[in-house]
Chain A
Amino acid sequence: MFRLTTIRAATAALVLIALAAWSVHGDYLAREITAEIAILAILVLALDLVAGFGGMVSLAHGAIMGVGAYGYALANLAGLPPWPAALVGIVASTATGGVIGAISARLTGVFFLMVTLAFGQMIWALTFRADALGGDNGLGGIARPALPFVDSNDPLVFALYALLMLLACLLLCVAVLRSPFGHRFQAVHDNPARAAALGFAPERIRAQGFAISSMLAGVAGVLAAQHMQFVSPELMVWTASGEVLVVLILGGIGSVTGAMVGAAGYLLLKHWAAGWTDHWHLAVGLLLIAVVLAGGRGLSGLLERRRDA
């Protein structure tokens, strides 16, 4: 059962404040990386909701996020202003996730993994080959949203906007987990037999949880499209989903705040290591092994345990 402990709240606040401070005082690249971290953190948060609390390890989240990004891009390119277009993107992701969830909710473990992988690959392949979607060349010329008083094309403004969105998603995630639905969702995972005996419909609850998670992935997709002002099937390829899973495990699965710690740690390590070697994946791999061997609770888990001891 999820508890927003003091240390979790403090970690989340600390990461958000540190990132905001870094982008205010940092250079152009710092602001770009902050926006990247915020977007990845939202996507990891979405995956944590289903994988960490519902036991549904999905390999379709990259593709679901991509649907949101393409939904936003297509709606915007068709002439819709950014905010309604964002709604289109989020609805598209939620609907896609709803369908995938409804079909695969009865499966568990490796079977669930395989079915989501298949769905993700189908979405990727369709996009990759579709001439109308630009194929592998992607779509460009996407607008950023109009914000009151500030210009979202300013990297600093966009970084802070992305951090605000991350905070909103974080609060939404906590609210969902604390709601009666959230309790049922976790109960269905923790003890399916007892949950069924209490009259819950496990499949429906799992499918609904998957749709909510897909909605968050859609927010990440819309933000990614706004950030890059460009979308391509690269967003949806299954290794992108795998990367999200790696970041989740790195940060700490089932802890909510782990998403932020993982995303920040992963991208900072990537940009720092890529500066001096083409083999930065190796550094990430070694860190992942170390984190898993140290108890599998991720970077945020290590932090928490230190305090408990």
Chain B
Amino acid sequence: MKSTLAACLLATLALPAAADTTVGLLLPGSGNYAALGQDIEDGFRMALAEAGRDDITVIEADTEAKPQTGLTRARKLIMQDQADVLVGVVSSAVLAAVRDVVDGAGVPLIVANAGNDAATGADCSPFITRVSFSNSQLNRPMGEWMAAQGITSVYTLAPDYAAGQQMIGAFTAGFEAGGGKVVGGELTPFGKTEDFGPYLAKAKASGAEALYVFYGGADAISFVQQYDGFGLRDDMPLYSVGFLTAPLYLRSQGAAAEGVIGALHYLPMLDTPENMAFVTAYQAAHGGDLPSEYVVAGYDAGRLLLGALETGAEGRAAIAEALPKVAYDGPRGPLQIDPATNNIVQNVYIFETIKDDAGMSYRLLDTREQVRDAPNGCVMPG
């Protein structure tokens, strides 16, 4: 007993008297993206709880997914709350808004969702590290893979806004580099298209072998149902960046989503010990629900921060420097940060949405190992 006490005492004394770390969570707490924000926060807190550290203070700030609001909140976290590190950012517009502020103030930001290529491309910063994905990272390998499958012509559809344009652009580049040809495409009015019939008719008339789309949110559900109802399934198989049939929407899509092939950076059914442990822990805390890719992004944001703190980094500059050097095997597989861009290097999983005894599920078709984005104009200061 005495020796145990002494050991405890020694252990306490041996610990460095580390200063508390203040984390600002920049997530939408209200509005369309509130569900994503909640998933990311759950994942982030899960990582902190696993580590059992009590020297990390988390301050929440609601960005409402609006750039102006997000910027005001980020400034408050930096100037008033003296946050050491910011975590979150769901919308690329919010990321673009806060980019100059975190870069100027030298506060590390761990991006847990927003996928705009420019954030780790032309607008990259040593203070911005991304653990989610970039739009190109998911779409380009999908284009290459489809070309390698012998598909020669594709028609594309996506909502008409920055992310939609970027996703289709990256896919087209990958697909055409592989020898395929995008024979046509349409950008549909963002958030206002309820009837996809005319676009599906155009796609059919194009005579392309396959259809490649990007849709998210309510659009993802209505698009998949209308594609199914339109009877295009036999003539034109549906491929997409994997968000289309992500767990969040699959329940509402039901059997209509059967056969859709997509690419994502995480699938809950990955058969690795790290993922099994992660899924079990998440399910125990959330009534058996499977973790979404957003939970994983939040979790990895936490793991990355913890990894940086474990190296003894303290304060903004040291944490910013330590973050890109963290690498480990997580739920989604091996994960590292590319020092050239501070974007994540990760596996991209190509999967088919299937119907099995338990309902809708996914089957892994192929894995693109360790996908790394080209620097795309990113120049890190020496």
Contact A28 B30 (CB under 8 A): no
For residue B93, give the distance in angstroms from its CB to the closest CB of chain A: 5
**Which of B80, B123, B163 is the one whose CB lies under 8 Å from A29?**
B80
Contact A136 B76 (CB under 8 A): no
* Assembled-state Cα–Cα distance A232/B67 (Å): 7
Interface residues of B in 62-93 (CB under 8 A from A): 62, 66-68, 71-72, 75-76, 79-80, 92-93
* Assembled-state Cα–Cα distance A27/B75 (Å): 13
**Which of B72, B79, B99, B162 is the one whose CB lies under 8 Å from A135?**
B162
B96: Cβ under 8 A from any A Cβ: yes
22 CB contacts below 8 A, A to B, read A28-B75, A29-B76, A32-B72, A128-B161, A129-B160, A134-B162, A135-B161, A135-B165, A136-B163, A137-B92, A140-B97, A140-B123, A141-B100, A155-B79, A228-B72, A229-B100, A230-B71, A230-B97, A230-B100, A232-B97, A235-B68, A278-B30
* Assembled-state Cα–Cα distance A48/B100 (Å): 35
Q: Please indicate the chain B residues that have their CB under 8 angstroms from the CB of A131 in the complex.
A: 162, 165
A171: Cβ under 8 A from any B Cβ: no
Counting chain B residues whose Cβ lies within 8 A of the other chain, the interface size class is 20 to 34
Interface centre among A134, A135, A232, A274 (most CB of B within 10 A): A135
A304: Cβ under 8 A from any B Cβ: no
A-B pairs, top 5 by smallest CB distance, nearest first, are A135-B162, A278-B30, A137-B96, A28-B80, A232-B67
Contact B68 A136 (CB under 8 A): no
Contact A136 B161 (CB under 8 A): yes
Q: Please indicate the chain A residues that have their CB under 8 angstroms from the CB of B75 in the complex.
A: 28, 32
Interface residues of B in 233-283 (CB under 8 A from A): none
Given A232-B68, A234-B67, A234-B68: A136 and B97 interface contact (C-beta under 8 Å): no
B116: Cβ under 8 A from any A Cβ: yes
A137-B116, A137-B162, A235-B68 known; 15 new pairs, CB 8 Å cut-off, are: A28-B76, A29-B76, A29-B80, A129-B160, A136-B93, A137-B96, A137-B118, A138-B67, A140-B100, A155-B79, A229-B101, A230-B67, A230-B100, A232-B67, A232-B97
Contact A28 B161 (CB under 8 A): no
Q: Please indicate the chain B residues that have their CB under 8 angstroms from the CB of A129 in the complex.
A: 160-161, 190
How many of A's residues come within 8 Å of B, CB to CB? 24
Q: Please indicate the chain A residues that have their CB under 8 angstroms from the CB of B30 in the complex.
A: 278
B179: Cβ under 8 A from any A Cβ: no
Which residues of chain B have a CB within 8 Å of any CB of chain A? Answer: 29-30, 62, 66-68, 71-72, 75-76, 79-80, 92-93, 95-97, 99-101, 116, 118, 123, 160-163, 165, 190
Chain B at the A interface: SS class: helix
Interface centre among B29, B67, B80 (most CB of A within 10 A): B67
For residue B27, give the distance in angstroms from its CB to the closest CB of chain A: 12
**Proximity string of chain A (234-248) to chain B, C-beta cutoff 8 Å, 1 when within and 0 when not:** 110000000000000
Identify the closest chain B residue to A27 (Cβ). Answer: B80
* Assembled-state Cα–Cα distance A283/B104 (Å): 36
For residue A143, give the distance in angstroms from its CB to the closest CB of chain B: 11
* Assembled-state Cα–Cα distance A283/B68 (Å): 21
Q: Please indicate the chain B residues that have their CB under 8 angstroms from the CB of A229 in the complex.
A: 100-101
* Assembled-state Cα–Cα distance A44/B331 (Å): 51
For residue B33, give the distance in angstroms from its CB to the closest CB of chain A: 13
Q: Please indicate the chain A residues that have their CB under 8 angstroms from the CB of B72 in the complex.
A: 32, 36, 228
* Assembled-state Cα–Cα distance A128/B92 (Å): 13
Contact A232 B93 (CB under 8 A): yes
Interface residues of A in 154-169 (CB under 8 A from B): 155
* Assembled-state Cα–Cα distance A274/B73 (Å): 12
For residue B186, give the distance in angstroms from its CB to the closest CB of chain A: 13
Contact B67 A128 (CB under 8 A): no
For residue B99, give the distance in angstroms from its CB to the closest CB of chain A: 6
Q: Please indicate the chain B residues that have their CB under 8 angstroms from the CB of A137 in the complex.
A: 92-93, 95-96, 116, 118, 162
Identify the closest chain B residue to A30 (Cβ). Answer: B80
* Assembled-state Cα–Cα distance A135/B92 (Å): 11
Identify the closest chain B residue to A237 (Cβ). Answer: B66
* Assembled-state Cα–Cα distance A138/B98 (Å): 11
Contact B97 A138 (CB under 8 A): yes
Q: Please indicate the chain B residues that have their CB under 8 angstroms from the CB of A28 in the complex.
A: 75-76, 79-80
* Assembled-state Cα–Cα distance A128/B162 (Å): 8
